[in-house]
Homo-oligomer: A and B are copies of this chain.
Amino acid sequence: MTTLRIPHADDVLEASRTLAGVAVETPVLRSEWLDRLTGARVYVKCENLQRTGAFKFRGAFNCLSRLDRTAYPGGVVAYSTGNHGQAIATVGKMLDIPATIVMPNDAPAVKITKARENGAKIVLYDRSRQSREEIAAQIAAQSPVDMIPPGDHPLVIAGQGTAAAEGLKQIGASGVTTILVPCGGGGLAAGTCLATEALNASAEVWAVEPEAFDDTKRSIASGTRERNALLSGSLCDALLAPTPAELPFAINRKRLSRVLTVSDRDVLRAIRFAYDELRLVTEPGGVIALASLLSQSDVVRGKRVLVIVSGGNVDPAVFKQALDIDVGAGPIDHAA
């Protein structure tokens, strides 16, 4: 396994070069209604339109394209709540690298199916009883494969940082005061912090977590990596890491300016907003930063905000819950 050095800002710039012409340059969308609600100027970076439907493609490609194939003829193994696994499977297929993915058995069926169809070997586990890290480590110990964690890898973090770097370039780095990103293990948040440094941007980075899974918020407060009381139970399946990943946390504890939390109900309302107003399919964990702007609309008043919508792989049953929301009763009323 690659040495766990903390990545630098330059690693994001190098990752951007690696991903040029490979990753989708995802669009930045605007909504007059969103600006009016928040009293801010908001730019929505659509990483749900990225290959594999999530920003995770960036970290996976940046990492696997530099795999030492002689040292790891068996390819790679990854543990993932879904999108990272799917990205590793897809990139593995692109680069002809065998991939084994350890996924929780309650991950959306669509994510499991897609990874399988990319030729990956899938190992399912029970999120409430088993440790995904241990299962993946066991596989890595028994065969010549490299373990690619979703956050604890410098090349993965640097790759994730290219989403914000691209967004800052599209808008103009000086035009952004605040970047909001979804936060599970913290890889995207950490990469985003490095991206601002790489582009000499003064923007603050804010992370957004599900209400009952605010491990990063509590960890930053206490200075040590705290665990969540629950291991499952939020709609935001992509953000249920039990504790902040080590490397991202080393960056996030110093660089994150703020951590917000959002309820599942407000996440569903944000999925509906993205459907009505942006015509985007978003997943709960992917839309949570946007959800924070809708549910706590005063927090960014007067600011110029880049908000990353990080993924769009969502089971139809969940999407239908959002479509069933009565938009006549709340703030989404006027977005229709």
Give A contacts to B, CB under 8 Å: 24-27, 29-30, 46, 48-49, 53, 110, 113-114, 117, 275-276, 278-282, 312-313, 316, 319-320, 323-324, 334, 336
Contacts of A320 in B (CB 8 A): 320, 323
Identify the closest chain B residue to A281 (Cβ). B279
Q: Nearest Cβ in chain B — how far from A174, in angstroms?
A: 18
Is the CB–CB distance between B279 and A48 below 8 Å? Answer: yes
C-alpha spacing A217/B26, complex, angstroms: 36
Q: Nearest Cβ in chain B — how far from A190, in angstroms?
A: 25
Q: Nearest Cβ in chain B — how far from A45, in angstroms?
A: 12
Is the CB–CB distance between B280 and A336 below 8 Å? Answer: no
Q: Nearest Cβ in chain B — how far from A312, in angstroms?
A: 3
Q: List, sorted by A's number, 16 A–B pairs whose CB atoms are closer than 8 Å.
A: A24-B29, A27-B46, A27-B49, A29-B49, A48-B279, A49-B278, A49-B279, A110-B276, A110-B336, A113-B336, A279-B280, A279-B312, A280-B281, A281-B281, A316-B324, A323-B323
Contacts of A312 in B (CB 8 A): 279
C-alpha spacing A316/B24, complex, angstroms: 28
C-alpha spacing A26/B49, complex, angstroms: 12
Contacts of A114 in B (CB 8 A): 336
